[in-house]
Amino acid sequence: MREAVRTVVAITGASGIAYGIKFLENLPGERVLVVSEMAKKILPRETGIALEELYAMADEVYSDDDLFAPISSGSHRFDAMIVIPCSASSLGKIACGLADTLITRAAAVALKESRKLVLVVRETPKSAVLLENELRLARAGAVILDANPGFYHKPKTVDDVVSFVAGRALDQLGVEHALYEKWS
C-alpha cells in the first residue's frame, strides 16, 4: 500500500492508549481522529496528557457520537483506518456489523469499501467469543494486530515496547519509520 494520505485513527477504551499516541506522533499525511468516551476517561489515568493535547496531534477530530461526520459515509475518501487500541467491545461491535458509534460506523465503511482496517487489540486472555470475532473480521479483510511487543530489539524502556507495537501498526500501512530495529 502506498503511504496513506488520509488515515482515520480511532482510540477506544482499552488500556494501551500510549500505542495510539505513539502511532499518531509518527503517522504522516492527514490524520482524522475519533476518541471513544471510555478512552477519554482512561487517557489521563494512563498518560497524564490532556484530551486537547491528543486532539492537537490530528488534522481533524470528530466526536464518537457524530454519525453525520464525513467518515461515516463510503463516498467520503479515506485510505485506511486503525483502531489503536481496540477494545474487545469495539471489536465485537465491528464483527457483528453494529455501527452505533462513529468508530464502529467508520470501521463498517472501511470493510464495505475494501479499505485497509487495522485493529490493534489489547486484550488478554481471550475468550472463544473474542477469538471468533477476530476470525470473522480477518475473513472480512481486517488486520488483527495484537498489541504484543517483540523483544529481539532488546527494549530497555516502556517507550521502547510501545514504539515496537506502534511501529508494527505503521508497518501495516506501509509507512517507513525508525521506531524499532527491524529483524535482520
How many residues in the chain? 184
85 backbone dihedrals φ, ψ, rounded to 5°: -80, 160
Per-residue pLDDT tens digits of the chain, which is 184 residues long: 444 489 999 999 999 999 999 999 999 999 999 999 999 999 999 999 999 999 999 999 999 999 999 999 999 999 999 999 999 999 999 999 999 999 999 999 999 999 999 999 999 999 999 999 999 999 999 999 999 999 999 999 999 999 999 999 999 999 999 999 888 7
Instruction: Locate 112 and state its grid cell.
Output: 464495505
CATH class, domain 6-171, is: alpha beta
CA angle 49, 50, 56 (to 5 degrees): 100
Q: How many CA atoms lie within 13 A of 181 on its CB side?
A: 7
- Round to whole Å and give the CA distance between 19 and 166: 5
Handedness of CA 44, 49, 52, 58 (dihedral sign): negative
Which DSSP string corresponds to 26-39? Answer: H--SEEEEEE-HHH
